[in-house]
């Protein structure tokens, strides 16, 4: 799935990483030892403890930047399991929304091109994005394709929600399977 990430999406991702950095700045020494991160990240967390006000905000932004050099996923997982953070859950939700929009926009484009060519748009419409989604995530491709087809034909919000449910369930299932390995 190749897609350009918008500036707004990048900003949301950076804000999530800054929120994670702010949560990391509040870790105790015992939790800090268990944190699966580089020593540079741990050093920046310790530096955050001595800062106040605007300096603390700058230090947290810098901590988020240092975090990006390593594995941010491990940090999100650590915060979710240790501290009950909702950042990981919110990230998965936004990813499911993005994927739903990509698939639906592809279907709408295909429908429009069929209408312009005077052809009938079929339920088994071809699409690179939906095919790559079905290959990457554990989902029934036919069910997803039919639901997207119904939404594009009728534009009923219920079908849009059903597409989202299918996509989100696939993203969550893939995340669970990745944790098990």
What sections of the chain are H helices per DSSP?
7-25, 29-34, 39-49, 53-69, 72-83, 87-117, 128-136, 141-154, 157-180
The pLDDT value given to residue 150 = 94
4 pLDDT above the threshold of 80:
no
Within the chain, what is the greatest distance between any pair of CA atoms? 68
The pLDDT value given to residue 180 = 80
Quote the Cα angle for 94-78-62, to 5°. Answer: 75
Query: Residue 3's pLDDT band (boundaries 50, 70, 90)?
Result: low
Upper half-sphere CA count for residue 11 (Cβ side, 13 Å): 3
Mean pLDDT across the stretch 14-28? 89
Q: How many CB atoms lie within 10 A of CB 137?
A: 21
| Helix, coil or strand: residue 95 | helix
Task: Write down the residue that tokens 């299932």 correspond to.
Answer: 173
Query: Domain boundaries in the chain?
Result: 7-85, 90-180
Cα–Cα dist 21/44, whole Å: 10
pLDDT tens-digit profile of 122-177?
Answer: 888 888 999 999 999 988 888 999 999 999 999 999 999 999 999 999 999 988 88
Burial class of 179 by CB neighbour count within 10 A (0 to 12, 13 to 18, 19+): exposed
- Does the pTM surpass 0.75? The reply is no
User: What is the average pLDDT score of the chain?
Assistant: 88
Is residue 23 within 8 A of residue 63, CB to CB? The reply is: no
């Amino acid at each position: 799935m190749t897609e350009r990430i918008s500036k707004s999406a990048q900003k949301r991702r950076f804000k999530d990483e800054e929120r994670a950095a702010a949560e990391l700045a509040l870790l105790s020494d015992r939790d800090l030892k268990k944190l699966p991160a580089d020593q540079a990240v741990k050093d920046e967390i310790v530096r955050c403890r001595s800062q106040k006000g605007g300096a603390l905000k700058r230090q947290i932004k810098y901590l988020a930047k240092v975090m990006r050099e390593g594995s941010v996923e491990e940090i999100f997982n650590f915060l979710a399991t240790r501290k009950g953070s909702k950042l990981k859950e919110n990230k998965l939700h936004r990813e499911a929304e993005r994927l739903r929009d990509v698939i639906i926009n592809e279907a709408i484009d295909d429908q429009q091109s069929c209408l312009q060519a005077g052809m009938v748009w079929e339920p088994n419409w071809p699409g690179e994005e939906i095919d790559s989604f079905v290959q990457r995530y554990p989902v029934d491709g036919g069910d997803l394709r039919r639901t997207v087809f119904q939404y594009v034909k009728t534009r009923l919000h219920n079908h849009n929600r059903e597409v989202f449910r299918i996509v989100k369930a696939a993203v969550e299932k893939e995340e669970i399977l990745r944790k098990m390995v």
